[in-house]
Amino acid sequence: MTNSDPLEKLIVTEAQAINRQELADLLSPYLSIDKETRSFHFSSEFRELPNAEKILVILSAVKARALVLDTTDETSPTEIIKMDIMPTGSVKGTLKTLADSKDIKVENGKYHLPNYKIHQVVARLTKKKKI
C-alpha cells in the first residue's frame, strides 16, 4: 500500500528544488564551465556586470557546477580572488555586503547561494539588462 499523504509532494531533495533550466538560462550569457578543469570562462557581458552581480553569477555557477560535476556548491573568497574578476578588496567587501543583506549565505568561511535565491538572482539580472 502506498502512502497517500498529500504533504509528501512537498518533500524534495535539495537538488530537486532547483529549476535547472532557469539556472542554465541565467548563466549562459555570462560564462561556461570547463569540463576537465572545472574552471569558469567568463564572457565580455560578465565583465560588464557590477561587482555584486558578478558574485551572484559566480555563486550560481558554483551551484550549477556542483549539480553537473558532483562538486561542492560553496566557494571561498580566495577561490573567487583567483578568478581575477575584480580587486581583492572588492571581492571581500562584496561578499560581506551580500551576506549581510541575506542575499547569500556564509558558513565556515565558504559562501553559497541558497536554491530559493536563484529566482531572485534571475530577476535582479533581468532588471539590470533593462536599465
**CATH classification at residue 31:** 1.10.10.10
Q: What is the pLDDT of residues 21-51, one digit of tens each?
A: 999 999 999 999 999 999 999 999 999 999 9
The answer to the question of residue 10 being in a domain is no
DSSP label at residue 88: H
pTM, whole model, 2 decimals?
Answer: 0.86
What does the block give as the cell for 34? Answer: 570547463
Count how many domains the chain has: 1
Residue 15 C-beta-side C-alpha neighbours within 13 Å: 10
| Structural domain of 66 | 18-130
The answer to the question of residue 6 being in a domain is no
pLDDT band at 1 (very low <50, low <70, confident <90, very high): very low
